[in-house]
A and B are shown apart, each in its own frame.
Chain A
Amino acid sequence: MFVHLQGSWNPIYGRLSLHEIPFKTQIIQGAFFFVVLTALAVLTAITYYKKWRYLWEEWLTSLDHKKIGVMYIVLGLVMLFRGFIDAVMIRSQQVMAIGPHSAGYLGALHGYLPPYHFDQIYSSHGTIMILFAITPILTGLMAIMVPLQIGARDLAFPYLNALTFYLTAAGAALVMVSLFVGDFSHAGWVGLIPLTELPYSPDVGTDYWMWAVQLSGIGSTLSSVNLIATIIKMRAPGMGWNEVPIFTWTALSTSVIGVTAFPVLSAALFMLAADRYLGTHFFTASFGGDLMFYTDLFWIWGHPEVYFVVLPAFGIISEVIPTFSEKALFGYTSMAVAALAIAGLSWMVWLHHFFTMGAGPGVNLFYGAATMLVGVPTGVKAFNWALTLYRGRLRFDAPMLWCLGAYALLLIGGLSGIMLAMPAVDYSVHNSAFLIAHFHSFMLLITFAAIAGYQFWFPKVFGFYLDDGAGRKAFWFFSAGTLAVFGSLYALGFMGMTRRLDYIPFVQWRPPLIAAEVGIFFYCVASYYLVRQLYVGLRDRKTRPAGADPWATTRSLEWLTWSPVPAYNYPVLPVVHGRDEWAWRREHEYVDRVPDHYFDIVMPKNTSVPLLLGALSFGLGFGLVWRIWWLCAVTIAGILLVVIIRSFDNHTEHTLSAALVAKLDGGEGGLPDAPGSVNPYPSPMPVPFFAKTGAVSRCADRVASTLREGVVAPGPLGKGARR
């Protein structure tokens, strides 16, 4: 059954051999040394500061949704960095390889990247940015915030949460390994068919891409299951559907897409794998296969996927804008309905990615019209934000700036999307730089919103502020970069440039390409400020502790509990009285966070099983890539065995007694406002080591200097509501 391959294969190493390590290429050498040195530095630092045990007990084996969320975000940021390097390489190649007289370096005819290497770079750029950078960051934010927003102690399935994280991490690890062992796909992030079929890509690149995407896709499906179950089943007492915070609504609609669309991707990739490994003919060009069927399946997932990433971004914007406009979100119901409508509509537009396939005019018409329909709920959201801003008391803290940037990008990307939705227009700009500019408008919208979310919720999760000044500078440079790069790409699109060019035939395209390269420079400056923002925040953490309500005008439930958030989130589950519960309590001065009674709390125990399963899936992926069959068999058996053995463990939870909670929470005899400072309870406490010594102060000590006096109650000061 297994297809016959050219090249060598042996039963122990499969296709793997020493010369699969591309040590000839200088660029890869450089990358290799960079990665090895960074890894060494990190490992040495951990050893030197004796943090292994801490890392293992507090993070790697933790089932705390906040910690897993933070790990998701860290993974996403690391991959974002990698994807950014790819982007820099793409832009630099294009600016160097213009016209027949351009010079060539490092063995390339023009520029410094030979075509085959260039193709791998744009493929990994797309795959990484969409699936391993943006998606984990947003999933992380959802994993952290959704339980807090609905007043739950954790996600519905904490163990599954860790597992999905490690599946995503295993996928990311496969992508990273492909840098140094073998190579990566050269067929774009969409897996251009039939290029991904065995005769055209006999090497392992496609396999790396396929299995990495498969793993992370399964992770996303399962994490969506987790979120939906959480939102349906775990809402705090009193929280009906009308009181669910808006970010949670978008998390719900995103997860609906996640549960339904990702399996189609899995199916497509399984079929592709069958073609490559078993010699079937799903997508082959001969023997009755149909290659457009791959494109069809891919975009059945692909289009909902773009909404899968954009909806949480919309949710973040909908949380940040009201906070910094100091008023409630305009049109809550229409916002929630629009989010669900977008999720629904996103399912019937996918053919707009291949209008040019040549299906009948009726088909193109239907999909063109349906695509434009998506503009309606999106427009509803845009107008609601405008009306929230209208007559608000605007404050331009860094998160707000990032959101406004995202807002601008929504307009640009949305309008260019509507242009693309007309089949007649699309025939001329399909696969052009204009298309690239369109979807990057959206991808950057998401990036802007993700950064806003990170800066907005950081003080909540960690208990101290990030540096606002650096955050704003980062914003301005980032925006300048976006304008330069994607403004140029819109222009280039109109000038007729197609996508994925490793060599630029027309010298007239040079000026915009140079402008785009300058944009990259701005992005670098912005990254510097983002790092600086975190650094300054860490450095000054003791002097700048954030209260529970760090922005003083926040609204939803998550701001009600302590910052940093205790492991159990809420000492006693809050009763919800309306939309924007925290704003309601603040206005009515029910601002005490210390309840007068406590119950036992049941919490999941730490476990290393998800990490083990992630490692096994990585092994499985690696074995499949290199066709090391024994490794595949061993890992599959291992996975089954581990799952079964774990299912025999009925002691996966432990109980915190009410007395202990009271003490931790500052009730009877404890320290009032310092959760974690006297923590007899060893592991799942929230306070990160670097914040542990920080004086976690009273809530909302900082009455934001930006606040005009007397506008808002400065947050919970006394213990007034305690009766």
Chain B
Amino acid sequence: MSSYEEEPLSHPEVRDLDVRLSVASFVATAALLTFSFMVVVRDAWSIPSLSIAIALMAGLAAAAQLIGALQLTLAPSRRWFTACFLLCIPLYMLTVGLTAWMFATLYTRTMMPHLMP
């Protein structure tokens, strides 16, 4: 096992680097974001459907970045990275989601309703 110290380039994390993944994620992300950019600046649809489109594209592009660029895959050398990230996702949802929820109810109860969006 100590050989990685002498031969750092033989380390699995170096071996598992994959330029094809980088290229693919670049292409995918750029295409997805271009799409949502275009529909927004052209005002193609109604606001709700635009929001959905943006969120959808953002989700896909983010996934492309995570899997392609950051290589969060199931390869043995990457497993812990993937697992740690997956464990954080609920926390993002709690932090942003529950916060949004509580303030939404707070605002409707305490603020002037006509100021609400």
A-side residues, CB < 8 A to B, are 232, 256, 260, 264, 290, 292-293, 296, 300, 347-348, 351, 357-360, 362-363
Contact = CB atoms under 8 A, between A and B. Distances in A.
A348 B106 contact: no
Given A300-B95, A351-B102, A358-B106, 18 more contacts: A232-B80, A264-B95, A290-B103, A292-B103, A292-B106, A293-B99, A348-B94, A348-B98, A351-B98, A358-B109, A358-B110, A359-B103, A359-B106, A360-B106, A360-B108, A362-B105, A363-B101, A363-B102
6 contacts: A292-B103, A293-B99, A296-B102, A348-B94, A351-B102, A360-B108
A362 B106 CA distance: 11
B55 interface: no
Contacts of B105: 359-360, 362-363
Q: Is the interface of A mostly helix, strand, loop or mixed?
A: helix
Query: Which size bracket describes the interface of B in this complex?
Result: 10 to 19
Interface in B84-114: 87-88, 90-91, 94-95, 98-99, 101-103, 105-106, 108-110
Contacts of B106: 292, 357-360
Given A232-B80, A260-B88, A359 B102 contact: yes
Contacts of B94: 347-348
A94 B94 CA distance: 40
A347 B94 CA distance: 8
Contacts of B91: 260, 347
A360 B109 contact: yes
Nearest to A304: B91
A574 B42 CA distance: 67
Q: Which 6 A-B pairs have the closest CB atoms?
A: A360-B105, A359-B102, A359-B106, A359-B105, A363-B102, A363-B105
B83 to A, nearest CB: 10
Contacts, number: 41
A285 to B, nearest CB: 13
Nearest to A264: B95
Contacts of B80: 232
A360 B91 CA distance: 22
Nearest to B106: A359
Contacts of B87: 256
A687 B108 CA distance: 64
A359 B98 CA distance: 11
A375 B102 CA distance: 23
A300 to B, nearest CB: 6
Q: Kindly name the residue among A292, A351, A359, A363 whose own CB sees the greatest number of chain B CB atoms within 10 A.
A: A359
Nearest to A350: B98
Contacts of A351: 98, 102
A296 to B, nearest CB: 6
Contacts of A360: 102, 105-106, 108-109
B102 to A, nearest CB: 4
A357 B87 CA distance: 30
Contacts of A363: 101-102, 105
Q: Kindly name the residue among A232, A290, A357, A362 whose own CB sees the greatest number of chain B CB atoms within 10 A.
A: A357
A352 B27 CA distance: 46
A595 to B, nearest CB: 19
B60 to A, nearest CB: 26
B91 to A, nearest CB: 5
Contacts of B99: 293, 296, 300
A292 B90 CA distance: 23
Contacts of A358: 106, 109-110
A358 B95 CA distance: 19
Nearest to A348: B94
Contacts of A256: 87
B71 to A, nearest CB: 18
Nearest to B98: A348
Nearest to B87: A256
Contacts of B90: 347
Interface in B34-63: none
Contacts of B109: 358-360
Contacts of B98: 348, 351
A290 B94 CA distance: 19
Nearest to B110: A358
Contacts of B103: 290, 292-293, 296, 359
Nearest to A362: B105
Nearest to A292: B106
B109 to A, nearest CB: 6
